[in-house]
A and B are shown apart, each in its own frame.
Chain A
Amino acid sequence: DTAVSQTPKYLVTQMGNDKSIKCEQNLGHDTMYWYKQDSKKFLKIMFSYNNKELIINETVPNRFSPKSPDKAHLNLHINSLELGDSAVYFCASSHLLATMAIQFFGPGTRLTVL
């Protein structure tokens, strides 16, 4: 059983295209996150949703739009892809208000923009 899953695992696309990445968690968590890991391995939070409500929105271009249809799903849509968007995108989930809200990560989606 995969706790946090993402699709697709790999995404290769041309500059200017629009693409989506999907994330699902079956841990019963109420909070989900999107992280970007660049070529230098830096992990940076992008967005977080708690019970379908946006609670973290870092300085991210508005070409990136997260959507949470329910608390088990968090999708990321990217418009007008640019070369600099190439990275590995990780979804994560946790309880928000647990004593130690451990974040569990998905397997990642490697996005390559040509």
Chain B
Amino acid sequence: GENVEQHPSTLSVQEGDSAVIKCTYSDSASNYFPWYKQELGKRPQLIIDIRSNVGEKKDQRIAVTLNKTAKHFSLHITETQPEDSAVYFCASSYGGATNKLIFGTGTLLAVQP
């Protein structure tokens, strides 16, 4: 069945450093890859997404890259700040009749001041 693997499960960085979170998906028909940020006790919120016809997308300090051949996609956060500390989820979807999102297992990012 569909599966999304996410690594690492925890990541600790110093403020100002970069953070990279990697995901691998199993369904080659997947064409939409969102990233959600979930702060403690809050709802998941979309921070960036990418479609399969694009290799990279940036939004200020965050960027996502997609390698369709390898079925990998990654989240890059530069110049990390303490408020970036949260759990980050990748997800994949092939759209179709259901828009079903398959989520990765999450990465707890801790940015040390």
Q: Which A residues have a C-beta under 8 Å from some C-beta of B?
A: 31, 40-45, 48, 50, 55-56, 90, 94, 96, 99-108
Contact = CB atoms under 8 A, between A and B. Distances in A.
30 contacts: A40-B105, A41-B106, A43-B44, A43-B89, A44-B103, A48-B98, A55-B98, A56-B98, A90-B43, A94-B99, A96-B97, A96-B99, A100-B32, A100-B49, A101-B32, A101-B93, A101-B95, A101-B99, A102-B34, A102-B49, A103-B34, A103-B46, A103-B99, A103-B101, A104-B46, A105-B36, A105-B43, A105-B44, A106-B43, A107-B42
Contacts, number: 55
Nearest to A96: B99
Interface of B: 32, 34, 36, 38, 42-46, 49, 51, 87, 89, 93, 95, 97-103, 105-106
Main SS of chain B's interface residues? strand
Given A41-B106, A42-B106, A100-B32, A105 B45 contact: yes
